[in-house]
A and B are shown apart, each in its own frame.
Chain A
Amino acid sequence: MRAGVIVFPGSNCDRDVIIALKTISNFKPKILWHKETEIPNLDLVVVPGGFSFGDYLRCGAIAAKSPIINSLKDHASRGGSVLGICNGFQILIETKLLPGTLITNKNLNFVCKDISLITQKTRPSPFTNGLTPGDKVNFPIAHNDGNYFCDDELTKKLHNEGQIAFKYSPNDNPNGSVDNIAGVLSENGRILGMMPHPERAIENFHSSQDGKLFFNGLIKHLLG
């Protein structure tokens, strides 16, 4: 499997993603510095979490203008898979590869805890390959601006087109996201942005190992 992880100044989950992918697939992902202008032919590119460019202006806004972003868009238009986690999700939103926007958490707190997510019935997607709709998975979250916001029209479209991959439980929405949305897919299902961190739910010393389910399904799909 050919995977790459983009690193920006301020990324801090890049190594966790690299270790998670290597542990599960046995393939070491390529590290892609944000100043590179060409992404080689890869199956998967991960935009990791962190605080790229210090979250200046708006979270992900500066990173979304980095030199590598044009080739990320090319990779996406070739049908390549893209996974954006946390700040990576914010960056994909700012690049407009994913719809809607992410605003400051409703309660103004930085939330850092384990959270239960409900897997949704989606359009065909490599990212929901290993999961059954209705399944609950536990991943950690750690963010200040994870409040997914979009108008009613877009919410309806996301539902109708099966573009919502994960939701928070209605009674445990940590950030005020519209319709408890925690993860959103692109129209072709090949781009996923999510606030929770599956790469932090792998090892025995992590509080959950549900990330294995997620990455196993993804890697199986990409290798298949």
Chain B
Amino acid sequence: MIKVVLEIFPKEEVLDPETKIVTKSLQDLGFDKLKEIKLGKQILIYLNEQDKEKALEYSKQMCEKLLVNTIIQDYKVYIDEEK
């Protein structure tokens, strides 16, 4: 079995109000070194597959077909070696 990690983040050019509000809230708490935070989503994908390349390709298909809205979101997939 292979564990693939999928990370999804809003694209830079897309206004993400949630990120803005959480950043401001932290700054209001006194964290004045904070420039900004990025809020995203992590999805763990467990595959019955041995080949790492195939596992990544398979996961990318899931992203393009359902998991990611590529108009407004960027994503990356990588293998979690620790399992």
Give A contacts to B, CB under 8 Å.
57-58, 61-62, 65, 94, 100-101, 103-108, 149-150, 176
Q: Is the CB of B69 within 8 A of A101?
A: yes
When A and B form their complex, what is the total count of cross-chain residue pairs whose Cβ atoms lie within 8 Å? 30
Interface presence of B15 (CB below 8 A): yes
Query: What residues of chain B lie closer than 8 Å to A108, measured between beta carbons?
Result: 17-18, 21
Measured in the bound complex, the distance between the Cα atoms of B17 and A107 in whole Å is: 7
B29 lies within 8 A of chain A by Cβ: no
Let me know if B34 is at the binding interface, CB within 8 A.
Answer: no
Say yes or no: A58 contacts B69, CB within 8 Å. Answer: yes
Q: Is there an interface contact between B69 and A61, defined as CB atoms closer than 8 Å? A: yes
- Complex contact A106–B18 (CB within 8 A): no
A116 to chain B, nearest CB (A): 24
Query: How distant is B75 from chain A, measured CB to nearest CB, in Å?
Result: 13
Q: Chain B residues near A107: list those with CB within 8 A.
A: 17
Q: Does B67 contact A (CB under 8 A)?
A: yes
CA gap between A106 and B19 in the complex, in Å: 11
For the complex, what is the distance from the CA of A97 to the CA of B64, rounded to whole Å? 16
Residue from the list A61, A94, A105, A149 in contact with B14, Cβ < 8 A: A149
A106-B66 contact, Cβ under 8 Å, with A100-B71, A101-B72, A149-B72: no
Given contacts A101-B72, A103-B72, A108-B21, contact A57 B67 (CB under 8 A): yes
